[in-house]
């Protein structure tokens, strides 16, 4: 998933997306422990998608905090 697409989502949608991605990553890790994966690159993609979502959430929190200070 592209960062541009993620930036269009609301904070609640991003949090939901992060939870879904973490759940997918957990399931994929469990499958990897039991058997060989069809697409092992998917693990890396999921980790990077989670990092993108968390980065955007962190930016939004920092932006809200900075915005409140500038307005004062």
Domain coordinates in residue numbering, the chain: 3-71
CATH of domain 3-71: 1.10.287.310
pLDDT at 22: 98
- The answer to whether residues 28 and 42 touch, using CB atoms and an 8 Å cutoff, is yes
pLDDT for 69 equals: 46
Pick the closest to residue 56 from 23, 15, 22, 21 (CA basis): 15
**CA distances in angstroms from 12 to 4, 24, 37, 72, listed in the order given:** 17, 18, 32, 27
CA-CA-CA-CA torsion sign (69, 10, 18, 38): negative
Output the pTM of the full model: 0.82
Give pLDDT, residue 63.
85
pLDDT beneath 50, residues of the chain: 68-72
């Amino acid at each position: 998933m592209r960062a541009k697409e993620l930036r269009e989502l609301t904070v609640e949608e991003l949090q939901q997306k992060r939870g879904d991605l973490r759940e997918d990553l957990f399931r994929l890790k469990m499958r990897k422990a039991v058997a060989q994966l069809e697409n092992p690159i998917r693990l890396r993609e999921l980790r990077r998608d989670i990092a993108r979502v968390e980065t955007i959430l962190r930016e939004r929190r920092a932006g809200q905090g900075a915005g409140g200070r500038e307005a004062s």
